[in-house]
Amino acid sequence: MASNEVWMVDYGAGNVRSLINAVSKLGWKVRVASSPDDIRNAQKLLFPGVGAFGSAMEAINSRGYAQPIKDYINSGRPFMGICIGIQSLCEGSEEAPGVSGLGVIPATVQRFSNADKAVPQIGWNCADEVSLADVSKERTLLERTQLLNHNGKGETFYYFVHSYMIPLTERTKEWVLSTTTYGGETFVSAVRKGNVFATQFHPEKSGFAGLRVLKSFLTSDIVDPVPSLTNGNGQVPPAVAPPTTLQLAPKDHLTKRVIACLDVRANDAGDLVVTKGDQYDVREKPGDGADGKGEVRNLGKPVDLARRYFEEGADEVTFLNITSFRNVPLADVPMLEVLRRTSESVFVPLTIGGGIRDVTDPSGAVHSALEVAGEYFRSGADKVSIGSDAVFASEALISRGGKLDGTTSIEQISWAYGAQAVVISVDPRRVYVASPEAALGHAVIETAFPGPNGERFCWYQCTVKGGREGRDLDVVQLTTSCEKMGAGEILLNCMDKDGTNSGYDLELIRQVKSAVRIPVIASSGAGHPQHFAVVFEETGVEAALAAGIFHRREVPIEDVKKHLKAKGHIVRPVDS
Ligand code: 1PR
């Protein structure tokens, strides 16, 4: 094997393209291990994973990979697991009772409690120092320096996305390299023992900090026994932090996320462009466009803009393919190509929305939403966002009296790729009513912004097909139904606020935030850095998204983060 080659176990677990891209960026070649012999013969092995414990173990077992992975680990060659890759090393998981893991780490994976926080944990958090009495501080400091590239100077943020975690117990002690705290729970976020290194976070999605972690693994030969504390000259390597910097009190460092959103569609000339609407109308005033309509607004090229936002410090990038309800996404090669090319140079999470539903292609072949989503994941997406189909699925669920039947796109994608990979994009608009009764059973609020006829109440109606069709479903019905079906996050747009720069619709966001226990992304209306601080402080959302102000360079992402930091919020530095 060439010295700069690494093997990666591919068992169909979500977005492995990002890991391949990150390793390639570091000048290494990834060879995909697609047979038990490939695994046995590898010299350095990456074991990635996105998704759910049960489906991951099923895929590993059905391919006959379990024993070869254990044999590989026992051989002492370097091994790195990521996310479900670390969890699969455990004995089992609450996520899939009765399903055995690989049994390398003596632990059972547990679900986070959602009593004090949203679950899944989605976002950037720190890998803290371990303060267990009988773990050698010097040992962990050295390993952290070598593998996590921590130098004791301040916090380094990594991207986490998971509902289940490895608890810190007596049994896991000897494995722990770092812990992370989310809400009131401290869990194992990285392990190292002998030749095994594994992280709960995604280095391939953690910006430059994550690339450094991957580089450490690729370039160091981790083997048992633990390396000596001194270098060749008998001196302790200088980057090792003195023990006084140890973090002894666990602290939740989860950042507030700032997301850049790119609405993408073909313009009248057929080119894929980033566009931006005012209350969902993306065309300029009537004039020279097709059929006498105004031109589709063109704010730039999708891949270039996404790269710019990554470099400017966006914590995530979201693409919404806004006209895909008309098209067949599997035939939408340009959009898949946009994802592939973006994931080559953007090392933060990518979400893609638009057209995730069962489709019939031009040849008459039917493809399930799960297949459509799978194609997006293989092209570089970390999460898919479902709009119209989530509305129809919720209506069907309600008409069945709330009984799950496993057939919806949300349930199927969530089972296969994990809840954290399923975002629900909500396109609501206000319906004003004179009294709560006039809302006919919909979740109504008393609003501080009365309607055109002085109405003091409103409810938020869900729409489909990019806001073109209103349905008899409110946002509380939609979001709670989707949470029940297994969605992991809500992207909450607002048609009334979209493109107005007047601030987020706090009333809408509060209503949804208090109805669900999964993370909520506020969207639509951002015009100033202050709007971000206000939406975080007044609604408790986990993330805030904006489009127009970033595209038009009115507000740099850096200014948003500076303002949030000044207001006491934890944010990921833009250059990390
Ligand atoms: O229904 O599953 O095929 O998904 C279609 C997706 O396309 C949905 O996520 C839907 O929100 C989106 N979409 C459809 N039409 C439009 C449109 O604008 N005409 N975009 C559209 C939604 C809203 C946000 C926007 C924020 C922030 N646009 O994406 O980025 O409002 O904007 P701002 O900061 O400038 O105010 P399916």
pLDDT at position 130, please? 64
Homologous superfamily in CATH for domain 257-566: Aldolase class I (3.20.20.70)
Pairing type for strands 185-193 and 359-360 reads unpaired
Question: According to the model, what pLDDT value does residue 229 have?
Answer: 33
Amino acid at 258: V
Name the percent of the chain in helix, strand, coil, to the closest 5. 30, 25, 45
CB of 466 closer than 6 angstroms to any ligand 1 atom: yes
- What's the CATH class of domain 5-245? alpha beta
Centroid of ligand 1 to alpha carbon of 314 (angstroms)? 18
Nearest CA to ligand 1 atom 2: 387
Three-class secondary structure of residue 209 per DSSP: helix
The ligand 1 atom nearest the CA atom of 526:
34
Confidence at residue 248, expressed as pLDDT on a 0 to 100 scale: 42
pLDDT score at 266: 86
Q: Distances from the Cα of 115 to the Cαs of 119, 160, 185, 540, in angstroms? A: 9, 19, 11, 15
250 upstream amide cis, omega within 30 of 0: no
Q: What is the pTM of this model?
A: 0.91
126 annotated among ligand-binding-site residues? no
Assess whether 332 carries a catalytic annotation. Answer: no
Please tell me whether 83 is known to bind a ligand: yes
Q: What is the pLDDT of residue 476?
A: 98
Catalytic residue among 202, 442, 531, 551: 202
With a 6 A CB cut-off, is 49 part of the ligand 1 pocket? no
- Interval between CA 421 and ligand 1 midpoint (Å): 18
Dump pLDDT digits (tens) for 164-193.
Answer: 999 988 888 888 888 899 999 999 999 988
- 493 assigned binding-site residue: yes
| Joined tokens for residue 478 | 């939609």
User: What φ, ψ does residue 422 adopt, rounded to 5°?
Assistant: -115, 110
Atom of ligand 1 nearest to the CA of 426: 11
Sign of CA dihedral 281, 286, 292, 295: negative
In the residue annotation, 405 being an active-site residue is answered as: no
Averaged pLDDT, groups of 10, the chain, 576 residues long: 85 81 96 95 91 89 96 94 96 96 96 94 86 54 68 76 92 87 93 92 94 90 45 37 40 93 89 90 73 82 96 97 69 81 96 91 87 91 96 98 96 91 97 98 98 98 96 98 98 98 98 98 98 98 98 97 97 87
Contact between 158 and 201 (Cβ < 8 Å) = yes
392 lines ligand 1 (CB under 6 A): no
What is the pLDDT, as a whole number, of residue 335? Answer: 84
Find out whether the beta carbon of 428 lies less than 6 Å from any atom of ligand 1: no
Place of tokens 């593998």: 147
60 lines ligand 1 (CB under 6 A): no
Place of tokens 């020279």: 288
Entry field: residues in the chain: 576
Q: For 226, which DSSP code?
A: P
Cis peptide before 519 (omega within 30 of 0): no
Q: Is 499 a pocket residue for ligand 1 (Cβ < 6 Å)?
A: yes
At 338, give phi and psi (nearest 5°): -60, -45
322 Cα: distance to centroid of ligand 1 (angstroms): 6
Nearest-CA residue for ligand 1 atom 29 is: 263
pLDDT of residue 240: 34
Helices (H), 400-528: 409-417, 475-485, 506-515
Which residue has its alpha carbon closest to ligand 1 atom 19?
A: 280
83 is catalytic: yes
Q: Which of ligand 1's atoms lies nearest the C-alpha of 527? A: 34
| Crossing angle between the packed helical segments 333-345 and 369-378, to the nearest 10 degrees | 40
Distances (CA, A) of 91 to 40, 82, 94, 99, 103: 21, 16, 10, 9, 4
* Ligand 1 closest atom vs CA 322: 7
Output the six-digit token pair for 158: 């990594």
DSSP state of 542: S
Which residue CA neighbors atom 12 of ligand 1 most closely? Answer: 322
Return the closest-CA partner of residue 420 out of 354, 330, 349: 349
What residues does each domain of the chain span? Answer: 5-245, 257-566
How many helices, marked H, and strands, marked E, lie in the chain? 17, 27
Going by CA atoms, what residue is nearest to atom 18 of ligand 1?
280
Q: Which residues contact 284 (CB under 8 A, 6 or more apart)?
A: 294, 295, 296, 297
Question: In the structure encoding, which two tokens stand for residue 381, read together?
Answer: 């997406």
**Location of structure tokens 């006959």:** 64
Distance from Cα 520 to the centre of ligand 1, integer Å: 16
pLDDT at 134: 45
Nearest to 191 by CA among 204, 180, 181: 180
Q: What single DSSP character describes residue 19?
A: H
